[in-house]
Structure 1
């Protein structure tokens, strides 16, 4: 059985004690029924795993004795920014969770013309915080010690107008003439733009192309938004990234 991993938001140092967050403490003591002396791994996003043992388990707190810091080599050689049009229901959570497991470095939610969910103000910030927690949970599960950032949602046109810098800009279109294997291997930083449930409109695809995005075809079938993102990321990792190790 793998050693349980928990996110800890504060500084971690060998030789010191760390108090687990309420959620982590509940999971460790009640769900996993861990005991004093059991091994645990904490991470705070700095790229290290902090190995230790549980030193206290009671109703007030669960603490761990940090024994050593170990560099975590689970990051992809590709720096993929997923520019994901906001989808409804659990689709967005699912897409973010699986994209993190597959190695994306940054997630930029965008509102497109066919996005069903509209976010603004406090509602947008609360949803961003929720998505960031989905990211943290996915890092706990997948063994990542560097935490991808979920940016504040933006309108797609506003995002493109910022002219974000990347070595390669890719979006998907069912009638595109190019496939990923036909592309020249990109540089380190890739932006992948994925549309919502109804896909990007023709105008949005043209606008993305004007800003340097290459349209790519993912096979002969039309994929759902959550499938499209994951299929594209998996293909990139196979062609240029993780799966070449």
Structure 2
């Protein structure tokens, strides 16, 4: 198959040799953005390790029908499971962090409220924000060829999230004055929960409290990183050490 075949996400369970009607959003993307025609081929992913290839069988302004004709097993998920707890930052930075962290292999993202975040929990439409972030997640998977959509959780308080750690998780917070580095972690690591601050960072009291919840204080280097840079640097370092960036 041509590697440049456009990809779309369909939430339905898919079968071979079946007709599917595209959603309004996918119709717009296929017809208006991609300008695809009758008999053109799409790659369809649906939150599994299988992708389906489908041909456009009917196209109009209101309806696009596709028919699946082939499927392939394509497992591209990292062996390292990463749950990112990202303190809410400004719109463009938060969107960027979600998009790029998904491209780097994050499995779950939980937006967090903290004392130092730029977002007032009383003045945010959580439902709209979460739906927007989920669309960014799908778009990121569409681009980077991940087939399983990472979960975007509803925003919660930072310390509530910290309490939810599991026994097998390695929990990390990043701080330039820490002594430990990721290379100091020994053995096989499969599950990581990492917490990244907003533009204002963490107060000393917040760091102490997070560490008391069982989080390791890890040093990424001597420099102070922007919130969106810190997330990507941390994810990349973990994927190099324990994941599939070899």
Normalised by the shorter chain, which TM-score bucket?
over 0.9
- Deviating beyond 4 angstroms after TM superposition, the runs of 4 or more aligned structure 1 residues are none
- In structure 2, the CA distance between the partners of 1:177 and 1:224, relative to structure 1 (3 Å rule), is same
Once the two structures are overlaid, the 10-residue window that deviates more, 147-156 or 54-63, is 54-63
Normalised to the residue count of structure 2, the TM-score between the two structures is 0.94
CA contact (8 A) 2:190 2:242 kept: no
Instruction: Give the Cα–Cα distance (whole angstroms) in 1 for the partners of residues 86 and 72 of structure 2.
Output: 33
Instruction: Give the Cα–Cα distance (whole angstroms) in 2 for the partners of residues 190 and 171 of structure 1.
Output: 11
SS of aligned partner of 1:90 = helix
SS of aligned partner of 2:102 = helix
Unaligned runs of at least 5 residues, structure 2: none
Unaligned runs of at least 5 residues, structure 1: none
Instruction: Give the Cα–Cα distance (whole angstroms) in 1 for the partners of residues 167 and 27 of structure 2.
Output: 41
CA contact (8 A) 2:177 2:222 kept: no
Deviations 1:139-190 (A, max 9, x none): 1111011011111100011112334454211110111011112222452110
Q: How many residues align?
A: 244
Deviations 1:119-148 (A, max 9, x none): 359811221111111101101111011011
Once the two structures are overlaid, the 10-residue window that deviates more, 200-209 or 144-153, is 200-209
Supply the RMSD in Å over aligned alpha carbons: 1.6
* 1:177 aligned residue: 179
Equivalences for 1:144-223 in 2 at 5 Å?
144-223=146-225
- In structure 2, the CA distance between the partners of 1:157 and 1:167, relative to structure 1 (3 Å rule), is closer
User: Displacement, 1:87?
Assistant: 0.4
* 1:37 aligned residue: 39
Normalised to the residue count of structure 1, the TM-score between the two structures is 0.94
User: Displacement, 1:68?
Assistant: 2.3
* 1:11 aligned residue: 13
Q: Does 1:62 align with 2:58?
A: no
User: Displacement, 1:47?
Assistant: 2.5
User: Displacement, 1:69?
Assistant: 2.5
Instruction: Give the Cα–Cα distance (whole angstroms) in 2 for the partners of residues 241 and 181 of structure 1.
Output: 13
* 2:29 aligned residue: 27
* 1:119 aligned residue: 121
* 2:242 aligned residue: 240
